[in-house]
Each structure stands twice: as C-alpha cells, then as structure tokens.
Amino acid sequence: MLAAREVAHLYQTDFVRNARAVAALWAVCTLCFAVLEVVVLIEPAWVRSGAGPGPTGSFGLFEVCLETEWLPQCQGSVASLSPVPSFETAAVFVCMALVLVLASICCCFGLYRCGSPATVYKVCAWLQFSAASCQALGCVVFPDGWETPEVQQLCGSSAGSYSLGRCAIHWAFVLAILGILDALVLSVLAFVLANRQDALLPEDFESCRKTPDSGN
C-alpha cells in the first residue's frame, strides 16, 4: 500500500492539474463574456420592427436605425456616450456590468501576483455576480422605455411600456439575457474553485500528521 504522503502527493497533483484546467476554462469564458458585453452594448439590435406597414429598422441602447434603399440611417452612437434618452437607465446598468467584468479580469491577473488563488476567485466571483445583477436590472428596465416616440416610429402607436407592438425582440437582447446566465455560472464556478483551494490534501493525511508514528 502507498504511504499517506505518497497518496496525498498523488491526490494533490491530480487535483491541481484538474483545477488549473477548470480555471483556464473559467478565464476563457470570462474573456468571452467581456466581448459579449461589448457587443450587447454597442449593437443597435435589441429590438427589430416586424412585417407590416411602416418603416423597417432596429434599435439598441445607443442607436436607432432605419433601413433605406442604400445604407441604414442611424441616430445616436456609443462613441458619444449618450444613449437613447428612454434607455439611459438600462444603458447605465449594462455599462456597469461591463465595468465589473473588466474589473474581474484585471483582478484575476493582478491579485495572482500578490494574493492567494482562493482570494482571487472569491473577489472575481463577487464581481461577476454583481455584473449578472446589473445586467439583469438593465434587461428588466429596458422595456419600460418602449412607449417613447423613437420606438413608436418603428413599432407603431400600439407600442408602449413592456409592449412592442409590431416589433419583436432581436438577437442582441437575447445575448444580453444569455450574458446574465453566463455571469451567474462563472461566479458559481469561481466560488467552487475558491472553496476547493483549501482541500488539496485528504483528511486522512492531515490526521496522520497529527498522530505520532506507531514505531516510536
């Protein structure tokens, strides 16, 4: 039979290898979530007008675009940092989510140099959970601005708060909702990785360290 130290060494080596693989996957998914947040923020594709009479176009947090025979005519731009007036609150929440995700990435690379991995994972987990909460608030508040003239121009006079009229949710809004789930999964995974950092050695090895050798 293997000695307790040898078993502990094998256990620790296997756990560290698996933990590093999971941590690498977590870091890649965090970077992907940051890219997704940027796309969600700048794309005017949260809602698109459907078939029927009236203009065709789409809008997001910062732009309202009308389709023409040539190029779409868009009002507003993320470069001006001025969202569509009715979506200012939603844009603030989504921007906060993006800032929190970027902060978790910086924390991941920065704290590894001066803190323990468990501390890094816990800080990143709370940042990502906060990002998910901000994103969720942004998605909940966004439909409240559908009764404005900008939206009714595309969706008809029947459009109102939490009612799209002849319009329909487009792919950017779906990505925003998926981003909430992604951030929640990442935060839970970070908490799990943080808790597992304290379990590198088996319990029987710890008890063997406390008891004297039987031969003495």
Alpha carbon of residue 7 to chain centroid: 39
Model confidence at 200, pLDDT cuts 50, 70, 90, reads very low
Q: What pLDDT, on the 0 to 100 scale, is given for residue 202?
A: 43
How high is the mean pLDDT of the chain? Answer: 80
Fold of 7-199: Butyryl-CoA Dehydrogenase, subunit A; domain 3 (1.20.140)
Q: What is the pLDDT of residues 28-63, one digit of tens each?
A: 888 888 999 999 998 899 999 876 677 888 999 998
Which residues on neighbouring strands pair with residue 160, listed in sequence order?
Answer: 163
- Bridge pairing between strands 73-75 and 57-59: unpaired
- The domain segmentation of the chain, as residue ranges, is 7-199
Look at the alpha carbons of 195, 200, 201, 206 in this order and tell me if their dihedral is positive or negative: negative
Three-class SS state of 73:
strand
**Would you tell me how many other CB atoms lie within 10 Å of the CB of residue 97?**
30
**pTM recorded for the entire structure:** 0.79
Q: In which residue are the tokens 């947090």 written?
A: 61
CA-nearest of 99, 85, 84, 98 to 41 is: 98
- Output DSSP code: residue 167: E
Q: How confident is the model over 204-209, as a mean pLDDT?
A: 38
d(CA 116, CA 112) in angstroms, rounded, equals: 7
Write out pLDDT tens, residues 113-166.
666 777 888 889 999 999 999 999 999 999 998 888 878 888 888 888 898 888
